[in-house]
């Protein structure tokens, strides 16, 4: 059953308040904490809420990711430390391997980068799938990754 915008906004506000007060490391934990506040939610709705709120699972639990993508060379160097390599999977899909636990953070930064060739990302714990519109977009993405994060991280 679809949830109205008002209910979603209430749930998302509660999520933000909970994360400010408690270190939450699992979505199931968040479901229980919301239930204690009288808000029913499923793990899948929590997952969508976290993505919409720009919250990623970092080392100590779920935390907001910076509002702006990194712009400086220092930030690119930090991200390069997370990215271990790339591969292509057809003309529209690029696979980015990261260190364990970094994929969501890197994916959020890529989503917010404003790079027109990126249609969207899906991330797990150490892998990101980046969809591009076409083969040309994929080549442009690989070139940007190479320029931003170094030659060693991007496969030719």
pLDDT, one tens digit per residue, over 15-65 is 999 988 888 989 999 999 999 999 999 998 998 888 888 787 776 788 776
Token reading at 95:
């696979």
CA dihedral 136, 52, 100, 86 (to 10 degrees): 0
Regarding pTM above 0.85, the answer is no
Domains in the chain and their CATH numbers? 5-64 (1.10.10.10), 73-153 (3.30.1360.40)
Q: What percentage of the chain exceeds 70 in pLDDT? A: 81
E strands present in 34-137 = 55-58, 61-64, 83-88, 93-98, 118-123, 127-132
pLDDT of residue 67: 46
CB 27 within 8 A of CB 43: yes
Question: Which comes out higher in pLDDT, residue 150 or 41?
Answer: 41
Rounded CA separation 60/102 (Å):
12
Helices (H), 37-90: 43-52, 73-82
Question: Which comes out higher in pLDDT, residue 18 or 146?
Answer: 18
- Degrees (nearest 5) of the Cα angle 121, 19, 1? 65
């Amino acid at each position: 059953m679809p949830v109205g915008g008002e209910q979603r906004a209430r749930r998302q506000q509660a999520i933000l308040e909970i994360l400010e007060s408690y270190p939450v490391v699992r979505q199931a934990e968040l479901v229980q904490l919301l239930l204690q506040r009288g808000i029913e939610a499923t793990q899948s709705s929590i997952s969508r809420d976290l993505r919409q709120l720009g919250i990623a699972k970092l080392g100590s639990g779920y935390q907001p990711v910076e509002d702006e993508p990194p712009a400086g060379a220092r930030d690119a160097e930090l991200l390069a430390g997370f990215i271990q390599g790339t591969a292509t999977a057809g003309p529209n899909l690029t696979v980015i391997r990261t260190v364990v636990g970094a994929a969501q953070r890197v994916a959020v930064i890529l989503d917010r980068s404003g790079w027109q060739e990126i249609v969207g990302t899906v991330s797990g714990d150490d892998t990101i799938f980046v969809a591009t519109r076409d083969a040309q977009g994929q080549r442009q993405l690989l070139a940007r990754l190479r320029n931003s994060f170094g030659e060693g991280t991007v496969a030719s």
